[in-house]
Structure 1
Amino acid sequence: MKTAAESSKMISTPLKIGAFRRFASANLISATGSAMAPLALAYSVIEQGGGAGSLGLVLATNTVPTIVFLLMGGLFADRLSRSRLLFLGNLLAAGAQGALAVTVATGHATTMSIAACGFVSGTAASFIVPATQGAVAQIVPEEHLQQANALLRLPSNAVRVLGPVVGGFVVAVSGAAWALAWDAFTFAIAAVLLLGLRLEVPPTTPGGVLADLRAGWTGFWSRTWLWTYTAAGTVLVAAWLAGFQLLGPLVAVRQYAGARDWGLIQAALASGLLAGTLVCLRWKPYRLLTVAVATSGALALPLTAMACSLSLPLVLVAALLAGIGLDVAIVAWNTAFQQQVPQAEQGRMSAFNGVGERLAIPLGYLLTALAAHSWNSQGVLLACAGIIALTTVLNLCVPDVHRVNRLAPKGESRAANDDREIEQQA
């Protein structure tokens, strides 16, 4: 199979690359199951008599492995075939979700068995995530990376809008086991598709595991734009999770019409993500990292709107804009990362970045629990919005952020690139 580096034939869209179509199909199929999984997992705990404590344990055992094993996954992604890692990761996830579906269907599920399956699924994710970034850069030519990243997110975001609704219907009509079984089936199909990629092993240097990790850390720390973006992302994601995911439903109950209006706010955010992907298919900014940092600050909008008790239509507009900004930020970041980090280091760099942002999950929830004793929900929401805005501004003050720009295609000058951007904006 021809990789991006080996292909000399000019293409107009990543969809003309057979390997990318296979990769995108696997991503879409897997996303249909993953969209239903959280709801099915929650109800599988509830159906066996578990409460908030049991659900918290299950969610924790699913999250912890993605932090603990992510660095190892990044190391493997730089030493082994990324397509093989993706195949094995999806196969492992299929086995874990399949086992969970069987135990739930037969009535033998317990909190510990559900947690054990979640642990295996989280472990699989820790190997899938670092391999994915590098795989896209191996498959798609440099000049088409943004379009490829947007095309990968387009169906995923569409599924994110419809998936919870379909998942809720399936769970209500047939039970959680069927939704979990579908999740397992989609992982298995994705594994079969990914097996056919056969990506080559990235170029490596001789050395052991510890030497590779040390070299990875040195490379991560030497790129100021990378570690500052990761540090800022950790704080920003923690504030977002605390304000939107944790406090949002509570504020919706007190200020709005409860679950109904919270569902509308979530739908507005998901619609914004979908709209943001469409923006990225048309707009190709030169200053990729600057755009990624700036647009992520839009996450402060719905938190501010809810903290100020604005009307529901204004909150929906704020959530929509936040979704657009978030998706533009993700696509711009992925493109900048894939263009600026060498193939041989992308697995480890992605893992270091991922560990930082995943630490935001427990950090955000812990800080919210502490702040809730002193402030009301509106006060905490406003503080979270302020943290997001301040973090965005501080990250924009890092000079290296403005030096990480889109690489011009071979033979094209910086001036030509700037002219093209001006034409697109006009």
Structure 2
Amino acid sequence: MAKTAAPLPTARRTAPLRIVAFRRFVTASLISATGSAMAPLALAYAVIGEGGGAGDLGVVLATNTVPTIFFLLMGGVLADRMSRSRMLFVGNLLAGAAQGALAVIVATGHASTTTVAVCGFLSGTAVAFTLPAAQGAVAQIVPAEQLQQANALLRLPSNAVKVLGPAVGGAIVAFSGPAWALAWDALTFAVAAVLLRGLRLDAPVPVTTVLSDLREGWTGFWSRTWVWTYTAAGAVLVAAWLAGFQLLGPVVAAEQYGGARDWGLVQGAFAAGLLAGTVVCLRWRPYRLLFVAVAATAPLAGPLLAMGWGLPLPWVLLATLLAGIGLDVAIVAWATACQQHVPQGELGRLSAFNGVGERLAIPLGYLITALAVGVWDNRTVLVACGGLAVAAAALNLCVRDVYRINATGK
């Protein structure tokens, strides 16, 4: 029988924040989020400050993403056979060391595309080992009936920081240089590592061979139709959203709206939507968990269609706000469904397979979009991306299991 760190029986009648281990987990998440919100901007200006351009930044971002995809399955296997608190400790420590080294390199003037990319590779590797462990850790700490509230509380600090973090990071970079923002990010990882190490969660399953664990994880993933269909739909939706919003959004904003000023408002509306979605999840506990997770992804098509159809900026802002709300509701509902309906000993591997499936779509989506804009105009491609997002959600709603995976303890 898998050994887990179950909360005391009395904790089941209280809110998640009354559980000491969960408070520690949330505190670590909040501290880490303050650094992570500043890091992308600091990284971009570290590359630019050394004379790099879009190509150099692209290389750096790729070296951060590729190892996450490559090592994620191994991270999922380890999350199901080792102490998840130990994995979170090591992962955050590695990320902190990578960001600390990057801060020193930038501060001393020795930054180059190669050195920054190496640090990014280490950070991406750390993410691959912390993501699967984090989802399983929450399910070990919090009773099943409180998981939705716990997942929402975990997203609250990161979403709140997203509203102000980039602006604060921009001010730090402008007045002190990117090295200070990177150093703060490194420090937050280190503090979070110490807090997470104190959770002392037991390993969820007995140790077997890695290959056997991986094979069993794939069997569990494929045998649950609701998991792999959600992953497949998510891959299409992630590719359409990132290609349309992140890649073409700023270009269309420059062509059709007020450029950087209006695009900043759109980004702000999305961040506000994510925060509002977290508040919704704290107040609303739907019974049809998986149905809500699927349906809530459909609003992501809104901003893409609004910009593609050339609607006025207020409509784009409203659509983006609703997209942010929907995305956060979907993330919380999906995480809760997995934690309540997947055994502890499989959560890490299932999370890893899901993460790999969705992340593999990112470079493919960028590539297809780059080819498409050579044939059609940007607005037509945006409408096509929006249509793909609607189609992915609609087809996923046709899966019978979507209506069977419901909240437990209700």
Q: Which amino acid aligns with 2:205?
A: P
Alignment partner of 2:110: what SS?
coil
**Shift of the alpha carbon at 1:361?**
1.3
Does residue 295 of structure 2 align to residue 302 of structure 1?
no
Which residue does the alignment assign to 1:157? 159
Alignment partner of 1:79: what SS?
coil
Deviations 1:178-210 (A, max 9, x none): 000000000000011111110011023x53111
Q: Structure 2 length as normaliser, TM-score?
A: 0.98
Compare 6-15 and 269-278 and name the one that shifted more.
6-15
Which residue does the alignment assign to 2:228? 227
Which residue does the alignment assign to 1:420? none
Instruction: List aligned pairs for 1:264-343, cutoff 5 A.
Output: 264-343=265-344
* Runs of 4+, deviation exceeding 6 Å: none
**Shift of the alpha carbon at 1:211?**
0.8
Q: Which amino acid aligns with 2:297?
A: S
Which residue does the alignment assign to 1:421? none
Which residue does the alignment assign to 2:64? 62
Does residue 115 of structure 2 align to residue 98 of structure 1?
no
The CA distance in 1 between the partners of 2:277 and 2:361, in whole Å, is: 24
Q: Indicate if the aligned counterparts of 2:5 and 2:201 stay in contact, CA closer than 8 A.
A: no
The CA distance in 2 between the partners of 1:203 and 1:163, in whole Å, is: 38
Instruction: List aligned pairs for 1:181-220, cutoff 5 A.
Output: 181-204=183-206, 207-220=208-221
Does residue 141 of structure 2 align to residue 139 of structure 1?
yes
Q: Which amino acid aligns with 1:157?
A: N
Alignment partner of 2:37: what SS?
helix
Q: Indicate if the aligned counterparts of 1:4 and 1:141 stay in contact, CA closer than 8 A.
A: no
Q: Which amino acid aligns with 1:186?
A: T
Q: Which amino acid aligns with 2:39?
A: A
Q: Which amino acid aligns with 1:22?
A: R
Does residue 64 of structure 2 align to residue 27 of structure 1?
no
The CA distance in 2 between the partners of 1:308 and 1:232, in whole Å, is: 24
Which residue does the alignment assign to 2:400? 399
Q: Which amino acid aligns with 1:48?
A: E
Alignment partner of 1:220: what SS?
helix
The CA distance in 2 between the partners of 1:167 and 1:217, in whole Å, is: 41
Does residue 131 of structure 2 align to residue 129 of structure 1?
yes
The CA distance in 1 between the partners of 2:13 and 2:408, in whole Å, is: 17
**Shift of the alpha carbon at 1:364?**
1.2
Instruction: List aligned pairs for 1:361-380, cutoff 5 A.
Output: 361-380=362-381
RMSD of aligned alpha carbons: 1.0
The CA distance in 2 between the partners of 1:269 and 1:382, in whole Å, is: 19
Which residue does the alignment assign to 2:241? 240
The CA distance in 2 between the partners of 1:128 and 1:378, in whole Å, is: 38
Q: Indicate if the aligned counterparts of 1:35 and 1:164 stay in contact, CA closer than 8 A.
A: yes
The CA distance in 2 between the partners of 1:3 and 1:335, in whole Å, is: 18
Q: Indicate if the aligned counterparts of 1:289 and 1:402 stay in contact, CA closer than 8 A.
A: yes
Which residue does the alignment assign to 1:262? 263
Instruction: List aligned pairs for 1:4-23, cutoff 5 A.
Output: 5=6, 7-9=8-10, 10-23=12-25
Which residue does the alignment assign to 1:414? none
1:86 to 76, 85, 88: 88
The CA distance in 1 between the partners of 2:5 and 2:407, in whole Å, is: 17
Deviations 1:154-176 (A, max 9, x none): 11100011110001110000001
Q: Indicate if the aligned counterparts of 1:7 and 1:141 stay in contact, CA closer than 8 A.
A: no
Q: Which amino acid aligns with 1:34?
A: S
The CA distance in 1 between the partners of 2:94 and 2:264, in whole Å, is: 32
Which residue does the alignment assign to 1:74? 76
Q: Indicate if the aligned counterparts of 1:4 and 1:142 stay in contact, CA closer than 8 A.
A: no
The CA distance in 1 between the partners of 2:341 and 2:368, in whole Å, is: 34
Residues matched between the structures, number: 407
Alignment partner of 1:201: what SS?
coil
Q: Which amino acid aligns with 1:349?
A: L
**Shift of the alpha carbon at 1:3?**
6.1
Q: Which amino acid aligns with 2:274?
A: L
Alignment partner of 1:135: what SS?
helix
Q: Which amino acid aligns with 1:133?
A: Q
**Shift of the alpha carbon at 1:11?**
2.8
**Shift of the alpha carbon at 1:140?**
0.4
The CA distance in 2 between the partners of 1:143 and 1:407, in whole Å, is: 6
Compare 61-70 and 6-15 and name the one that shifted more.
6-15
1:52 to 38, 51, 54: 54
Deviations 1:306-334 (A, max 9, x none): 01111111111010000111110010001
The CA distance in 2 between the partners of 1:294 and 1:351, in whole Å, is: 23
Does residue 111 of structure 2 align to residue 109 of structure 1?
yes
Q: Which amino acid aligns with 1:128?
A: T
